[in-house]
Amino acid sequence: MSEGTDNEEKIHYQCQRCGNCCRWPGEVPVDDAEMQKIADYLKMPLYDFVAEYTDLRLNRGGLTLTEKPNGECIFLEGKNHCQINDVKPYQCSGFPNRWNFEGWQKACEAIPVKIE
């Protein structure tokens, strides 16, 4: 994972909502504030949200949203509908403009748009 460097070039990558980033396997870390926000959005107690929708990260350094057996995020509905879109965590809202990884363009359909 690395910080995006596109700000210097004034390019913004516009998400096309293909849902790829919700389907590929991997962790979606959530911090305390994000979990509280999602629990409130789902109108459920934080404890229940944690028990039902999160797992311990592999490095044991926090929690991640649960993955379905096929690797999709637990909150993905259909091909590309995020059930918590309004309050999705930074890992989701920040990709690919605020963080990304080497070769991310092969997997993401976001379109570069020049910012004036």
Among all chains, which residue has been given the structure tokens 């870390």?
29
CB of 85 to ligand SF4, least distance (A): 6
Are 106 and 96 contacting, i.e. CB atoms less than 8 angstroms apart?
no
Q: Which is nearer to ligand SF4, 8 or 30 (CB)?
A: 30
In 27-103 the beta strands, taken as DSSP E runs, fall at 29-30, 54-56, 63-65, 76-77, 81-82, 99-100
Q: Which is nearer to ligand SF4, 10 or 79 (CB)?
A: 79
Per the structure block, which two tokens stand in for 49? 């949200």
CB of 2 to ligand SF4, least distance (A): 16
Q: Which is nearer to ligand SF4, 10 or 81 (CB)?
A: 81
Site residues (CB under 6 A) for ligand SF4? 15-22, 28, 65, 73, 75-76, 82, 84, 88, 92, 95-96, 108-110
- Total residues found in the chain within this entry: 116
